[in-house]
Amino acid sequence: MKELLEKSNGLLDYSAEVLSEIVKIPSFSGDEERVIQRIKSFLDELGIENWIDGLGNLIAKIGNGERSIAFDSHIDVVEPGDLHQWEFEPFSGEIKEGYVHGRGSVDQKGGAASMITAARILKEMDYNGKFTIYFTFTVQEEDCDGMCWLWIIEKEELRPDYVVLTEPTDLKLNIGHRGRMEIELLFKGKSSHGAMPHLGINAIEKASRSVLLIQELNKNLKEDPFLGKGTITPTMIKSTSPSLCAVPDSCLVHLDRRLTHGETRESAIEELRKILPEDTEVIIPAYKKKGYRGNVYEQEKYFPTWKTDEEHPLVVAGKKAYRELFGKTPVIDKWIFSTNGVAISGRHKIPCIGFGPGDERMAHAPNEKLPVEQLARATAFYAHLPLALEKTEEER
């Protein structure tokens, strides 16, 4: 383990430079081609087998074992937002005072940089163990978490036995998070002249009464001792009417619904139907944005809850790898936000854990930056986990 840590620490400058280079390339969902090509160039320079799939995900491969494990990092980022809130240029990629600065450094190109360095170490070690190790650099996660992995599993027919998500965990070992779904409520009214509102049915008023009931529903949703409480909140409202001097004939309310353990698409819809007017249309919207390779993979915006049991071999191996590398037991935790795990584990039941550099509170925030030191620890963990997993499976 000491040798592996020394290798990771010795390549820390390399990891930081890789991260700096890919942070400098803006890569919004659906427009990731430039950063994918830059990451591919790093892999090509290292002599690591890699290819780009039909959606635009970049997949690298080490080893030829019968079992398989994938390390995943999405490489798209959100917009920087209000530039006045930034103390530095959002895509500077500057390495300064122990941090790599810029949008995407934490969410989540830091994981990608550590994956590249881990692949380099495993290549130099001539890894030929029981696992085929995949490194996936995935697209369009910020727009539609998990859709990239639905493509990998369902279209590319690549289904690893285990997956490690390298989203930021502040080097804690994460084993799940709440699910989520987007819901649109369409309230129907009847238009009349604004001077004679009693002749119409005001869709905004119907929607407003329902929003108050939704606030009460939010107080009584299920709670899980580990994952936390389910929540529901309105995030957008818009109406239509013949004119601004007319009673609105429709009103659309968009809801963000977070799902804890035991809550499903069906249960969330049923809870709403019990409190809404009978003629309310409940819609689960679909994501159907074209990717940079020109393909569309439509998905309903339902993202299931997932959690991997602490006694699962993947979690046990994660604890083992952490102890052997760092001499202590990792903190077991969960994400507050959502990840590609909603598709990998939530839909397809592939066991997942999470381990990544950076603090998730920096995700989507101004002045995003990642501690350089964490890159080396993440690299060592990714390189060592397949070995720890081999031992764990042998012991069972």
Annotated catalytic, 249? no
pLDDT at position 150 is 97
Determine whether 394 is exposed, middle or buried from the number of CB atoms within 10 Å of its CB (0-12, 13-18, 19+): exposed
pLDDT tens digits, one per residue of 175-196: 999 999 999 999 999 999 999 9
pLDDT at position 325 is 97
The structure's pTM equals: 0.95
Amino acid at residue number 269: I
* pLDDT > 80? residue 1: no
Q: Say if residues 108 and 119 touch (Cβ distance below 8 Å).
A: no
Partners of residue 333 on adjacent β-strands: 174
Compute the distance between CA of residue 351 and CA of residue 353 in angstroms, rounded to an integer: 7
Report the SS3 class of residue 49.
Answer: strand
Compute the distance between CA of residue 340 and CA of residue 73 in angstroms, rounded to an integer: 9
pLDDT tens digits, one per residue of 73-91: 999 999 999 999 999 999 9
Q: Using 50, 70 and 90 to split pLDDT, how confident is the model at 139? A: very high
Section 36-52 average pLDDT = 98
pLDDT averaged over every residue in the chain = 97
Every domain of the chain with CATH number 3.30.70.360 lies at 180-287
Section 188-207 average pLDDT = 97
pLDDT at position 92 is 97
For CA atoms 372, 173, 26, 21, the dihedral sign is positive
pLDDT at position 365 is 97
Every domain of the chain with CATH number 3.40.630.10 lies at 2-177+305-395
pLDDT at position 2 is 78
Q: Say if residues 371 and 358 touch (Cβ distance below 8 Å).
A: yes
- Name the DSSP letter for residue 329: P
For CA atoms 164, 169, 172, 178, the dihedral sign is negative
- Name the DSSP letter for residue 363: T
* pLDDT > 80? residue 37: yes
Compute the distance between CA of residue 178 and CA of residue 221 in angstroms, rounded to an integer: 13
Tell which phi-psi region holds residue 122, choosing left (phi > 0), alpha (psi between -120 and 50) or beta: alpha
pLDDT at position 395 is 84
pLDDT tens digits, one per residue of 323-337: 999 999 999 999 999
pLDDT at position 298 is 93
Q: Say if residues 182 and 287 touch (Cβ distance below 8 Å).
A: no
Query: Topology of 2-177+305-395 in CATH?
Result: Aminopeptidase (3.40.630)
Closest by alpha carbon to 379, among 48, 13, 45, 33?
13
Annotated catalytic, 141? yes
Count of other CB atoms within 10 angstroms of residue 125: 15
Q: Which of 72, 107, 141, 167 is catalytic?
A: 141
Compute the distance between CA of residue 95 and CA of residue 229 in angstroms, rounded to an integer: 39
pLDDT tens digits, one per residue of 79-123: 999 999 999 999 999 999 999 999 999 999 999 999 999 999 999
Compute the distance between CA of residue 148 and CA of residue 140 in angstroms, rounded to an integer: 7
- Angstrom CA distances, 130 to 288, 300, 393, stand at 38, 37, 10
pLDDT tens digits, one per residue of 233-264: 999 999 999 999 999 999 999 999 999 999 99
Count of other CB atoms within 10 angstroms of residue 161: 18
The CATH architecture annotation of domain 180-287 reads 2-Layer Sandwich (3.30)
pLDDT at position 3 is 87
Measure the CA dihedral 304/60/153/288, to 10°. Answer: 70
* pLDDT > 90? residue 290: yes
Q: Using 50, 70 and 90 to split pLDDT, how confident is the model at 47? A: very high
Provide φ and ψ at 246, rounded to 5°: -135, 150
Q: Say if residues 13 and 95 touch (Cβ distance below 8 Å).
A: no
Angle ∠(223,337,354) on CA atoms, nearest 5: 100
Q: Which of 32, 53, 72, 76 is catalytic?
A: 76
Section 155-164 average pLDDT = 98
